[in-house]
Amino acid sequence: MPGRANDLIQIPASLWQRPETIAALRNRDIGRFFALVRQHAGASQTQIGIACVLSQGKVSGIMRGIQEVEKLDVFERIADGLGLPDPARIHLGLAPRHPPAHSASGLSTLDKEDRQEDDPVRRRTFVGLTGATMVSAILDGIPRPSPPADTEALASVLTGHAADTAELEPALDITALAAAAGNARRQYQACRYSGLIPRLPGLLGRLDAACRSLDGDDQLRAFTLSADVHHVAAGLLLKLDDRGLACVAADRSMRAALASQDPVTIGASARIITHTLMDGGHLAAAITTASGHAQRLDHDIAAHNPESLSVYGSLLLRGAVAAAQHDKRATAYELLAEADDAARRLGTDRNLRWTAFGPVNARQHRVNIAVTLGDAGTAVDVARGIDLSAITVTERKASLLIDTARAFLQWGRHEKACIALRAAWEIAPEEVTGRPSVHRLVRDLITTAPPSTRRDAEQFASQIGITR
């Protein structure tokens, strides 16, 4: 029976261990989470609202699926109000309240051994590399996520063969579609791929129907959303090495972007077209696509706003990476300098149009470009100066650690490469366990490492399910 409004909510410790609670938090399904709190703690909607500084109506709307929680400060209020322990906060994508005392805020701990004698104990210790998000003692008890689900349903909808009309329900409300598209992007950036894949086919089907049946501004908005969700699908498929299907998704993203008549949306879709060209080895075309669309966006926007500047800068960064892969060093650093200028104009990193663009993001790309060009020492030096706590997007944080691991491996610092990979796995398990490119990096580490580090690398590979 629900408690009185002013009663404190007494949540049993066992609630945080329940698989359904963990799943709800990982998916940021706050409606389901509130239902579990009501079921196991006997809390009323009013009590939950008081604890989380939400109205009873808001709590009711969230539980009925009419409203969704999207803002970080609301997630923080919910976590604080209901007393989520640190493992639960991490499931929800928030930093723990009580990180280990040895945590560090950046990557500088990775190179400390270069300046002092090696300590065998230190070599075996997984140092805190990522500040408040790196709590290996807490994460040890968290089950490893399942591999990403099968993508056949996604293939069907991308090729126009999905016939299940039930997927098009509920009604094509553009506000609800926008919320669902935002949730898909957040899951992607949080590296929650196994939860995202099953949801994409239905969402893409509803967006396709909306593009065909809506009109006026709602239709243009539907095309913008369709461009972005197809962008998500293409990015996910590239991570899974499904190059052919990724090309289909990228093409559909650009077609929808062109139909939206919005230069910024077109520029955003050009990013995934560039990425797909790079993945297929068409590097000259990738450079031309990224730089050409950046110039076009710069020309079409009379006065840049933060959104257009973010997309413009991200296109330049994508072109710089393509140039580095094509061994065009001068072009890579020329585009990188232009992106740095755009980042300075923006002022701070902001996840506008889901770019995470800004000065820190530009430095992250400088790490990637340096290691791609074979400048491992430069890559490590740049990475050392990046404060990981300033990177708010999980996928970008994991990517930086993976690039840092590549640099250490290139430099012959196998032990530190292994540490960086472990750090990436702690932050974003599915980014490591689900990506064939990361599997190849782990295998390269095992093959080239000296015996002492090879044992650690083999243990790590076994731990995350990589077979040689």
State whether CATH 1.10.287 applies to domain 13-91. Answer: no
User: What is the model's pLDDT at position 139?
Assistant: 31
pLDDT bin (cut points 50, 70, 90) of residue 71 is confident
pLDDT tens figures, 375-408? 999 999 999 999 998 999 999 999 999 999 999 9
Q: What is the model's pLDDT at position 400?
A: 97
Within a 13 Å sphere around the CA of 300, how many CA atoms are in the beta-carbon half? 17
**pLDDT > 90: percent of the chain:** 64
CA 232, CA 252: separation in Å to the nearest integer? Answer: 11
How many other CB atoms are found less than 10 A from the CB of residue 3? 15
Instruction: Pinpoint the residues of the chain covered by CATH 1.10.260.
Output: 13-91
Report pLDDT digits (tens) over 307-365. 999 999 999 999 999 999 999 999 999 999 999 999 999 999 999 999 999 999 999 99
Answer yes or no: are the C-beta atoms of 21 and 36 closer than 8 Å. Answer: yes
Across the chain, mean pLDDT equals 85
Cα angle 74-75-81, degrees, rounded to a multiple of 5 = 85
Instruction: Mention every residue, 6+ apart, whose C-beta is less than 8 A from residue 448.
Output: 409, 414
Instruction: Tell me the three-class secondary structure of 29-40, residue by residue.
Output: CHHHHHHHHHHH
Q: What is the pLDDT of residues 205-219, one digit of tens each?
A: 999 999 999 999 999
What is the total residue count of the chain? 468
Question: 3-state DSSP call for residue 425?
Answer: helix
**Where does the pLDDT of residue 97 fall: very low under 50, low under 70, confident under 90, or very high at 90 and above?**
low
357 pairs with which residues across the strands? 350
Percent of the residues in the chain that have a pLDDT greater than 70, as a whole number: 84
Instruction: Decide if pLDDT at 50 tops 90.
Output: no
